[in-house]
Amino acid sequence: MTRTGKNTAPEGRLDGKTVIVLGGSSGIGYAVAEYALAEGAHVVIGSRHAGRIEAAVTALGSNAEGHALDLADEHAIEAFFNAIGSFDHLVFTAGDSLRLGEVAATDLSQARRAFDIRYWGALAAVKYGAPHIVAGGSIVLTTGVAALRPRSGWAFGASVCGAMEALTRALAVELAPLRVNAVSPGLIATNLWQDMSEEDRQAMYEQAGKHFPVGRVGEARDVAAAYLFLMESGFATGQTYVVDGGAVLV
């Protein structure tokens, strides 16, 4: 679709919109930022890694800005949104490296930390961000297919994902007509797995990919398009969009 008149340029789906991506300095969040920029948005990324933010903004270009933000600090999140002011779409993709292991061998104090960013950080972002979202805007959160197809050792990961799906539905009702949705990625090759050795990580990708219907694990850009769809679709709310290469089928 193009604007009318001479010397027309392609019209992006997010022209004139401001999109905030918390967790946007790497992985899926960075890919979402790239997609949003390509569709004409002004993008604001935030994460706690100042160096990573600086590098990401440099790579993304002049229509992006970044802020170092501790997503475990409620007051910092409140101050961030007060400083940003009005915007159109909030995307939350932030999360620490995944901790896997059997319940019997798990330190529960560490297990509780799995919720700090992925659940409580997301909830704080919604609490303080939602009042600044303009009419027609949206929130897109992030969960994971562990809520649908947990594996052995995934009790805490599945718990977080299940909580995020329930939160998405509840917020869609409470915040209506503001739309709230979530994306549920499958196994994606990102830095979430950075605590594993390179050898173990690649072995995991190869082994898992053999069993998925699409024949491989996902890349960040495979998932990022789902966030764009949920931002743009004015009739989608309370939904969890699964992008997993068919993993829940096998």
Domain contains 13: no
Domain coverage including residue 108:
18-192+220-243
Tell if the pTM clears 0.85, that is, is over it. Answer: yes
What crossing angle do the helices spanning 74-84 and 122-129 adopt, rounded to 10°? 40
Q: Sorting pLDDT into bands at 50, 70 and 90, what band is 97?
A: low
Q: pLDDT for 169-202, tens place per residue? A: 999 999 999 999 999 998 888 776 666 777 777 7
Residue 194: per-residue pLDDT: 66
Total domain count for the chain? Answer: 1
Domain contains 199: no
Closest among 153, 150, 161, 217 to 187, alpha carbons compared: 217
Domain contains 97: yes
Q: What is the CATH number of the domain that holds 30?
A: 3.40.50.720
Domain contains 177: yes
Domain contains 211: no
Domain contains 212: no
